[in-house]
Amino acid sequence: MRITRFVAAAAALAVGLPAHAAPNTAKIGNIVTAALKEFNVPGAQVEVDTPGTHWAQSFGFSDYAARRPVTLRDHFAIRSITKSFTVTAVLQLIAASNGAVKLNDPIGDYLPDIPNGNLITIRQLANMTSGLYNYTIDPDFGAALGSDPTRHWGVDKLLSYALYSKKHPAIVFPPGSQYQYSNTNTLLLGKLVIALTAKPFPAVLNSQILRPLHLASTVYLTGVPLPSPAATGYQGFFDNMPDPVDINATSLSFAGAMASTVTDLANWGAALAEGTLLPETLQQKRFVSRRTAGDPASPLYDSYGLGMGEIAGWWGHTGSGVGFQAAVFHDIATDETFAILLNASNSNDVPAHIFCRVLPVLHAEIPANSVCAKEPQAAP
């Protein structure tokens, strides 16, 4: 495990380390443009915020067939970045409980009939060490989703594919023994929010996170359409054209059913890493993380903590799947944020690859053991 602390960032600033020069946004734009071509992505929104720079730009097409350009008002699905919101909501409820709810409480204390529910803790669900099977890789779920991507799903039905299937065990490894990224974890945490508040999840999300942070363009999706204006999501090609794809967000639920714009996403990334909505003592626990390299199916991170991941010392989250990809990362020491939204999912971890390529332009050091160390990079 490893711990990143706010005090370390504060100490670095206190000794007068030189401030980074303003990033070369033209070079960042060139990196993004080249990556969109390389990974067959029709359009994107990108934002970089530093103490001296606010730069947001749209690229390419929101609707490829109609040749409609992306605008900064367009909504994109953010997929698994939803997890960072769900875990934050859980941590807020823990903070408000005055000790009645704890990170080390077994999830079985709140939700019945969970395999290993007497052993798996809230913490282990949030940091992806529960050992629960990932429902999205269950073959029966894949077949059902493929037969009708726009069908409406209930969260208990989604969980049944992970926890009660006769084709595979519900438990992949003993709780806490290793890291393995599983969407099942966040479904249970979303159910925990409902159990603790007796309110619908979107209502809690709005009252506890979206309204306090003024994220007016960020929404929890309960069906197929995104809020207007919206980018079209693409996956694959038909007649040499990007192939539009739709999915009902209920199939992703508390693990991936949100949409946003790049400016809202950048604001969320800063609040997420800085702990704006949490007591500092609880925020510090989010940075206790495990290396992700042992899980070949994990999204591209160096390590993963409580509902957020780390790459080269920057903290945030990525999201990917069915037409959209996204990422947001924030450097606490320099108060810099990078956010990106893409409307295609033809290759894995494209936002993380672009982030790695942009880091030198942001004057960021890349540790030798970081996933970014393997990324081809232009000179800063």
Q: What is the pLDDT of residue 226?
A: 98
pTM exceeds 0.85, yes or no: yes
Q: Does the pLDDT at position 13 exceed 70?
A: no
pLDDT in tens, 300-318: 999 999 999 999 999 999 9
Neighbours of 51 (CB within 10 A): 11
Confidence of residue 258 (pLDDT cuts 50, 70, 90): very high
- CATH node for 6-14+36-310: 3.40.710.10
More confident residue, 10 or 200: 200
pLDDT in tens, 313-350: 999 999 999 999 999 999 999 999 999 999 999 999 99
Q: Does the pLDDT at position 120 exceed 60?
A: yes
pLDDT in tens, 58-115: 999 999 999 999 999 999 999 999 999 999 999 999 999 999 999 999 999 999 999 9
Q: Where are the domains of the chain?
A: 6-14+36-310, 350-380
